[in-house]
Chains A and B, each alone.
Chain A
């Protein structure tokens, strides 16, 4: 199971990579493996504003639609356009090409409440 050290994790299986005041958000390798066969991603609209914990996207496998929660508060500044034609990037490259959206953080202190890779590893066992 791939759980990169340089990311922070939500217990609802999203990851965030922070550069300056921008966070890139996706779902973990564990999450994509549990969902399998992702066939549709409903990414948030650019300009949408979320509070930490809000439903911000939907990832759909063949069998089910799963809500994705924003790990932090902020405004969406970019969505991963590549997922519209190739949603399986979330399966094949969950931490890289399969990112979901980028957000401008309004409260970087929220990052402290998120899990480290080892905390997340412990959660999923």
Chain B
């Protein structure tokens, strides 16, 4: 495998626009253009656009494709109507998270999986290892790009580009464009209204320019991270891992234990009956402190309990926020704990999810 970071088709355009890039999931991606705080604010109050072309698009089709995926994914695909999307998990045999993804149901047995950039290869290997006769797996990740347009002005931007109404949350449409197809979906990772576009790479630059010309602010992964953390949306590799189940992550709403079987189900059923050892909680700093960050120790009565998996000074709220797995007994609203920052401890409290509720 090539170890040098990969770049999306927008790399040169973004660098010329002042993007500062970092390695993310094996990709050299913009972390910010002007300022993370400004970009965050643009999405909360107006509109921002993110290049998410690093993410993976895997098309699954063939008779019984849906049934086959039902045995691999946690959520109940039967409840995902054609033209709708659903958040779900791919688990290992131990019930740990390989990846969190969104399925877009294009037809009866025609499904697009939108997966994390750093997990494309692993997901494909896993899926192929479990493939059944008649199922076609078409990994289009290299040929496709993606843009996320997020913020209260998104519906107006969608109308301006496509001359039609933006798809509702968790629905999508396929739109013809220059002889190709754009999948336009009412999904996002910011908590704001918005849409995501999945399209052939060669169509991305022109669309990017068109979106910017409508006054949408280019945003990097820095703002994407602050926005998603305010919503308590997990980041795989930080808040989710092969050692943690989606139940421990507090995401049981996306796990259909009433399905007869899926990989990892037995572990989750057992965990549900015996009790969860840990739970991912939202922590809010209660006094002035340095910003919490990932991998800071969390303590109770001076004893270490674990560590934060994500943390930031919330731009919208002006307080430090973090996620951490806590022992079940302490994972309750209002529980006081401490976070250790450079050897000093600061009080924090288990807070309701999400931290931020968009207007």
Whether A60 contacts B226 in the complex (CB less than 8 A), given A36-B32, A36-B36, A40-B313, comes out as no
- Across the interface, do B290 and A63 meet the contact criterion of CB distance under 8 Å? no
Q: With a CB–CB cut-off of 8 A, which chain B residues contact A42?
A: 290, 342
User: Which of under 10, 10 to 19, 20 to 34, or 35 or more describes the interface residues of B?
Assistant: 10 to 19
Whether A62 contacts B312 in the complex (CB less than 8 A), given A36-B32, A37-B35, comes out as yes
Q: Which parts of B10-49 form the interface with A (CB within 8 Å)?
A: 31-32, 35-37
- Across the interface, do B31 and A65 meet the contact criterion of CB distance under 8 Å? no
A84 to B293, CA, bound (A): 19
Q: Which parts of A35-68 form the interface with B (CB within 8 Å)?
A: 36-37, 39-40, 42, 58, 60-63, 65
Binding site for B on A (CB under 8 A): 36-37, 39-40, 42, 58, 60-63, 65, 84
Q: What's the least CB distance linking B1 to chain A, in Å?
A: 27
Q: What's the least CB distance linking B319 to chain A, in Å?
A: 11
- Across the interface, do A63 and B342 meet the contact criterion of CB distance under 8 Å? no
Instruction: Judge if B222 is at the interface, Cβ distance under 8 Å.
Output: yes
Q: Which parts of B301-350 form the interface with A (CB within 8 Å)?
A: 312-313, 315, 342
Whether A62 contacts B226 in the complex (CB less than 8 A), given A37-B35, A40-B290, A42-B290, comes out as yes
Q: With a CB–CB cut-off of 8 A, which chain B residues contact A39?
A: 37, 291, 313
Q: What's the least CB distance linking B159 to chain A, in Å?
A: 32
Binding site for A on B (CB under 8 A): 31-32, 35-37, 222, 226, 288, 290-291, 293, 312-313, 315, 342
A36 to B293, CA, bound (A): 17
A65 to B293, CA, bound (A): 9
A84 to B291, CA, bound (A): 13
Q: What's the least CB distance linking A64 to chain B, in Å?
A: 8
Pick the residue among A36, A62, A84 that contacts B313 (CB under 8 A): A62
A39 to B285, CA, bound (A): 15
Whether A37 contacts B290 in the complex (CB less than 8 A), given A58-B342, A63-B31, comes out as no
What is the chain B residue whose CB lies nearest that of A67?
B342
- Across the interface, do A60 and B290 meet the contact criterion of CB distance under 8 Å? yes
Q: With a CB–CB cut-off of 8 A, which chain A residues contact B312?
A: 62
- Across the interface, do A62 and B36 meet the contact criterion of CB distance under 8 Å? yes
Q: With a CB–CB cut-off of 8 A, which chain A residues contact B313?
A: 39-40, 60, 62
Q: With a CB–CB cut-off of 8 A, which chain B residues contact A62?
A: 36-37, 222, 226, 291, 312-313, 315
Q: What's the least CB distance linking B65 to chain A, in Å?
A: 40
What is the chain B residue whose CB lies nearest that of A55?
B342
11 contacts between A and B (CB under 8 A): A36-B32, A36-B36, A37-B37, A39-B291, A58-B290, A62-B36, A62-B37, A62-B291, A62-B313, A62-B315, A65-B290
A118 to B291, CA, bound (A): 35
A39 to B35, CA, bound (A): 12
Q: What's the least CB distance linking A115 to chain B, in Å?
A: 25
What is the chain A residue whose CB lies nearest that of B22?
A63
Q: With a CB–CB cut-off of 8 A, which chain B residues contact A63?
A: 31-32, 36, 222
Q: What's the least CB distance linking B287 to chain A, in Å?
A: 13
A62 to B226, CA, bound (A): 9
A58 to B293, CA, bound (A): 14
Q: With a CB–CB cut-off of 8 A, which chain B residues contact A84?
A: 288
Q: What's the least CB distance linking A58 to chain B, in Å?
A: 7
Q: With a CB–CB cut-off of 8 A, which chain B residues contact A40?
A: 290-291, 313
What is the chain B residue whose CB lies nearest that of A36?
B35
Q: What's the least CB distance linking B116 to chain A, in Å?
A: 20
A97 to B313, CA, bound (A): 23
A39 to B315, CA, bound (A): 9
Q: With a CB–CB cut-off of 8 A, which chain B residues contact A61?
A: 36
Q: With a CB–CB cut-off of 8 A, which chain B residues contact A37?
A: 35-37
What is the chain A residue whose CB lies nearest that of B289?
A40
A76 to B293, CA, bound (A): 28
A63 to B313, CA, bound (A): 9
A52 to B315, CA, bound (A): 35
What is the chain B residue whose CB lies nearest that of A34?
B20
Q: With a CB–CB cut-off of 8 A, which chain A residues contact B37?
A: 37, 39, 62
Known contacts A36-B35, A62-B315; can you find 7 more A-B pairs with CB under 8 A?
Answer: A39-B313, A40-B290, A60-B291, A62-B291, A63-B36, A65-B290, A84-B288
A99 to B225, CA, bound (A): 30
What is the chain A residue whose CB lies nearest that of B342?
A58
Q: With a CB–CB cut-off of 8 A, which chain A residues contact B290?
A: 40, 42, 58, 60, 65
What is the chain A residue whose CB lies nearest that of B38?
A37
What is the chain B residue whose CB lies nearest that of A85?
B288
